[in-house]
Structure 1
Amino acid sequence: MATSTIACPGQVLAPISTHISGSGTHVYETNIIASLIGTTVTQPAASKNTKPTISIVPQTTHSPLPNVSSTVIARVIRVQARQLIASILPVPPTTSASTLMPYPTTTDDSVQYQAILRREDVRAFEKDKINMNESYRVGDIIRAVVISLGDERNYYISTAGDEFGVVVARSSEVGNAMVPASWREMRDVITGKGEPRKVAKPS
């Protein structure tokens, strides 16, 4: 019988020593990592000589409006010199800030909750040296925390913490999937070429 839980991009699901990577996941070093936001489904091993397969089924439900301290998953839609704009889906108000929630089913950013990440909120140190284009790129999926409800159009978010930053990215040249190489670099899984990012520590 299959078992299921909610998972988010960048989350460690299981070691490759005990499970097989299925759809919606990828392997990084010795672990199976979630590539999508949705339900984790583990199918039992077909025989004694095989391992259970772990997969992600994309989430299709919506969530309430964000509150201050809500942890959110956001897609970067515009990067400027002093800030970026992202479309987000927050965690429910009753959920702890460390719990991540899925995207809405629609991919139209114009109808999503909008958020602003200012340069000074990217990280907690050397704020005067932050380059937005070396931290985030359009299309990156990031984990962040809501720090202000802002105005009627935008929320303000922060990635100033080890657990916040890019969780899913594709290479700017050819669009290959990328995996974390360090806290400030993602690496193309095919070419091995690195690109600068403010990377979230895998949860």
Structure 2
Amino acid sequence: MTMEIERTEEEEEAVVVVTPGEELGRSSSLIPGKGSYLAPHNRTVYASITGRRTLIQPSPDSPDQRPIVEVTGHKAHGAVPEPGSIILARVTKVMPKVASADIMCVGTKSVREKFTGVIRQQDVRETEIDKVNMHLSFRPGDIVKAQVNC
């Protein structure tokens, strides 16, 4: 959902408010900045938070002339997990192939909204994935440090 809010008459541009998961453009024409991320499977840039979309033009001498797209959220928003973020989460449920966890911190900042993550069996270790027993690896209440992936 894209909602446009008009500024005062002196300002020529309209403010574009975007929501998480909203497509901002293709990586061939945009560089993801703060509040946005690149989905590698389809090379599309998406918003990761609710806020105002801003395009930052590169300097004339920059080798990459694609603008940077950023989404600036309201100060009331807490930390938001993005691909690549290091998070702390509390395991809430363990099943044979996955464990669910509530994200508590992104980096050193606590989250204000509820975010749930999934730890897949193949994410526990790199080798002998089929031998991973999720019930022996995790218990509800465990605190896990992990990196967010798409």
User: Based on CA coordinates, which of the two structures has the bigger radius of gyration?
Assistant: 2
> TM-score when scaled to structure 2?
0.45
